[in-house]
Structure 1
């Protein structure tokens, strides 16, 4: 009923037909439009009118798609039906009489039970406040939205610099000037891409509210093209979008797989386990590592399938920000960083961030019977805001404690790292 608003409102899906059954005597307070109608419906159904009489048409020859005691809401939001159960408007006139077309939103004044067929899109129409700010002001569902937002920003900014599959791409450039030019154009293209992300999300909320109700918002990328007036073009666009998403996934996954396998085969196996290993043996180690890491990654992916993809992406950036980024920052600009400080900071920063994320997952999915404060929960969900400074502090403290392990040619290496390439002393920096 009204006291349960916005839960007393039903906005029907534009993705598929929906069959809904109400009990005898149910009363509808208002019939309106849940969202702006797409072009193919605009000429058929009046928009923005809450008076049900505006939707009555004489001589409607369209066949009714009903079952006894129910409404059938066709794809696109056309409500048709002649229900056996008595369902009336608040003025007493019957709703769903033969030949009635309505916009796809019903509002109930009294408590009403609705029954839906299995595997159907359940209607929903959240209130504006809930719709615009699903987790509260500035977002953040645990009560510290500003902290949550800044932590996510730190993760995305610092984590991008530390993603291993991004770092290896710089080795495809012949010199530093080319690497800078590549970085510039990549940033331009990424900026253009991210302009469309909020726009796509806004279109999804406006045109496909049922996805929000069914917790299927990740399918909006595929679902939106299919509601185009040109069906063929919509299917083609959906196919191209699917192919592009798969290509992006494969390029990212393969890049990470190559980075992990290369580190194991070259650095761990080739330098620590068996320094005398031949090129063929290292190649074999690389192939074995690729298979093992691939299987483990797919298994872990199945475990976190129920989590929102946006959360998973943010976590990947947070771990990279707390491990690789401090090493890049201090390694390039601080002469006092030792190998022990770098290793300790990377391991502890990355491990602590990973531990925080796993703890949050356990709390959310009830694996861990823990009760934590909203502040703690926000810090566990977005650990970058404390993980990055923690890693930097560990690197500094351990490096100071092991200062006698600094290389003797430190000044020469720093000069070669920062000197202009035109001087010709920056080649073969790692020897």
Structure 2
């Protein structure tokens, strides 16, 4: 039954891809659907892109196993959209064309910035994509009763995501995300209604049973993050990281105007907010009804809590539907990540740097499709190696990289008149390297020698961690700003005489839209 429902969803999305392929002719069509997506469509697609396997599978599992600490993921990811709405959406749409690098180069006028921004996009997309592939492997293995091992299930996801992007471009990706968002909300609402009905329509009763089963401390901070600084660091990464995620930012180029970009964020926030409230119901109900032992038996990281809860609430048929929806969730998100990464390579690195802007539209699309296949293969390989990680945790690391490398550069580009290309390069490189270095010497990779910490099989280095926090955001985000500042000071000696006028012109265009052509054809 599960395979049948999943097959129906796949056929629907492949049908969308076939339809979209006839409308995907130029580079603009492939990259941003020609800027023809409406505000509500883009808002639902953003929600579909954002409510990933990390949200549905990962957060539910984290709440079920860790209580309050797991719910902080939901809070952080929802609050993050306030930064996107009030700071990023409109100026990004008015200044850019296809990628984040377009906006930076419009202000800084240095082709080197395009290269480093593209590298940042590829690194962040890789982290995020690994999480989705890990979720896909766990889910399909569970649903097939162990017949389809990750060696087969992960390449299956890779083939489908490559198909969506290669043939349908951004238009197909957008509609796949819309379909997925609708299905996921339907499934989550049904599960929430069944949960509330079982607990007398009282969330307090549910939490009371959670407390009775796990103790009062489970409903407070400290179950997963013994160090409160770690929880603060996680919150910083989640709240600030969204405004630097390339696959979210690129969606603002798919709408006709900056006003539509803002409206689409409002649509997305409504859907995302409702979803994340319901994750608290799902996670706590899984803890009570399924139990931590059964959840960890299915997957040590807790990624299967939501499907197991669906089986408990509605039997095999409901498990089949929820699992198929989770599969669709993964397909939609990896498609969005893949097209973002391939667009960045084709538009920024190939056309902008290697061909100095001289590549034809057909040539760019061909390179983007080749990049899509390459990125898909690499993502599947890395996802296979990272199977023991919780998917929400992996995505949180992607948010930390985005908040450390991209956000400082975006904010300083928009608001600091002395910011320059050297500062942007230092900020991107410094933010990425600081973040990756701290992750490499953290408890994620190295073990923790403490009596109250269980040893984890996922440790790649059997030595005590040098950095005590699981998420590096509290250090790496300020470091990104510091590197950007220091780079700007170093680059000040080469300051061009027109930089002051360029900043004034950038701000005028960013907040008025003056000079922006009617669709996506910018200066």
* Structure 2 length-normalised TM: 0.52
For residues 180-239 of structure 1, give each alpha carbon's deviation from its aligned partner in whole angstroms, at most 9, with x where no partner exists.
Answer: 1111121121111100111101100111113245263321211222223xx5xx444333
Correspondence for 1:67: none
Secondary structure in structure 2 of the residue aligned to 1:369: strand
Q: How many Å separate the matches in 1 of 2:463 and 2:510?
A: 55
Q: Flag the structure with higher helix content.
A: 2
Q: How many Å separate the matches in 1 of 2:380 and 2:278?
A: 29
Q: How many Å separate the matches in 1 of 2:395 and 2:244?
A: 14
The answer as to 2:314 corresponding to 1:221 is no
Counterparts in 2 of 1:215 and 1:382: CA distance versus 1, 3 Å: farther
Counterparts in 2 of 1:218 and 1:367: CA distance versus 1, 3 Å: closer
Counterparts in 2 of 1:215 and 1:245: CA distance versus 1, 3 Å: closer
The answer as to 2:346 corresponding to 1:253 is no
Residues 136-155 of structure 1: pairs in structure 2 closer than 5 A? 138-139=221-222, 141=224, 143-144=226-227, 146-155=228-237
Correspondence for 2:259: 177
Counterparts in 2 of 1:167 and 1:421: CA distance versus 1, 3 Å: closer
Q: Is the 8 A contact 1:419 1:426 kept in 2?
A: no
Secondary structure in structure 1 of the residue aligned to 2:516: coil
Q: How many Å separate the matches in 2 of 1:224 and 1:180?
A: 36
Q: How many Å separate the matches in 1 of 2:333 and 2:494?
A: 37
Deviation at 1:427, TM superposition (A): 1.6
Deviation at 1:422, TM superposition (A): 9.3
Counterparts in 2 of 1:412 and 1:255: CA distance versus 1, 3 Å: farther
Residues 316-331 of structure 1: pairs in structure 2 closer than 5 A? 316-331=398-413
Q: Is the 8 A contact 1:336 1:399 kept in 2?
A: yes
Correspondence for 1:389: 478
Deviation at 1:368, TM superposition (A): 2.0
Residues 189-268 of structure 1: pairs in structure 2 closer than 5 A? 189-209=271-291, 210-212=293-295, 214=297, 216=299, 217-228=302-313, 234-268=315-349
Secondary structure in structure 2 of the residue aligned to 1:377: coil
Deviation at 1:352, TM superposition (A): 2.1
Higher CA-based Rg: 1
Correspondence for 2:192: none
Residues 354-373 of structure 1: pairs in structure 2 closer than 5 A? 354-360=436-442, 361-364=444-447, 365-372=458-465
Q: Is the 8 A contact 2:290 2:312 kept in 1?
A: no
Q: How many Å separate the matches in 2 of 1:423 and 1:316?
A: 32
Q: How many Å separate the matches in 2 of 1:194 and 1:142?
A: 20
Q: How many Å separate the matches in 1 of 2:511 and 2:415?
A: 21
Counterparts in 2 of 1:132 and 1:288: CA distance versus 1, 3 Å: farther
Q: Is the 8 A contact 2:210 2:284 kept in 1?
A: no
Instruction: Give RMSD over aligned pairs.
Output: 3.2
Correspondence for 2:351: 270
Q: How many Å separate the matches in 1 of 2:439 and 2:488?
A: 27
Secondary structure in structure 1 of the residue aligned to 2:325: helix
Pick from 471, 478, 488 the counterpart of residue 399 of structure 1.
488
Residues 317-356 of structure 1: pairs in structure 2 closer than 5 A? 317-356=399-438
Q: Is the 8 A contact 1:323 1:346 kept in 2?
A: yes
Correspondence for 1:282: 364
Counterparts in 2 of 1:221 and 1:423: CA distance versus 1, 3 Å: closer
Correspondence for 2:127: none
Counterparts in 2 of 1:197 and 1:281: CA distance versus 1, 3 Å: same
Correspondence for 1:33: none
> How many pairs align?
302
Deviation at 1:399, TM superposition (A): 0.7
Deviation at 1:263, TM superposition (A): 1.4
Q: Is the 8 A contact 1:416 1:426 kept in 2?
A: no
Deviation at 1:250, TM superposition (A): 2.0
Residues 157-176 of structure 1: pairs in structure 2 closer than 5 A? 157-176=239-258
Q: Flag the structure with higher strand content.
A: 1
Secondary structure in structure 2 of the residue aligned to 1:370: strand
Segments of structure 1 that go 5 or more residues without pairing to the other structure are 1-37, 43-124
Q: How many Å separate the matches in 2 of 1:224 and 1:213?
A: 13
Secondary structure in structure 2 of the residue aligned to 1:425: coil
Deviation at 1:127, TM superposition (A): 9.2
Pick from 310, 317, 332 the counterpart of residue 392 of structure 2.
310
Q: Is the 8 A contact 2:295 2:304 kept in 1?
A: no
Q: How many Å separate the matches in 1 of 2:415 and 2:401?
A: 22
Segments of structure 2 that go 5 or more residues without pairing to the other structure are 1-194, 200-208, 448-457
Deviation at 1:367, TM superposition (A): 3.0
Deviation at 1:384, TM superposition (A): 0.8
Q: How many Å separate the matches in 1 of 2:489 and 2:509?
A: 30
For residues 124-167 of structure 1, give each alpha carbon's deviation from its aligned partner in whole angstroms, at most 9, with x where no partner exists.
Answer: x9996956646x961264641x2111111111111111111100
Choose between structure 1 and 2 for higher RCO, CA contacts under 8 A separated by at least 6 residues. 2
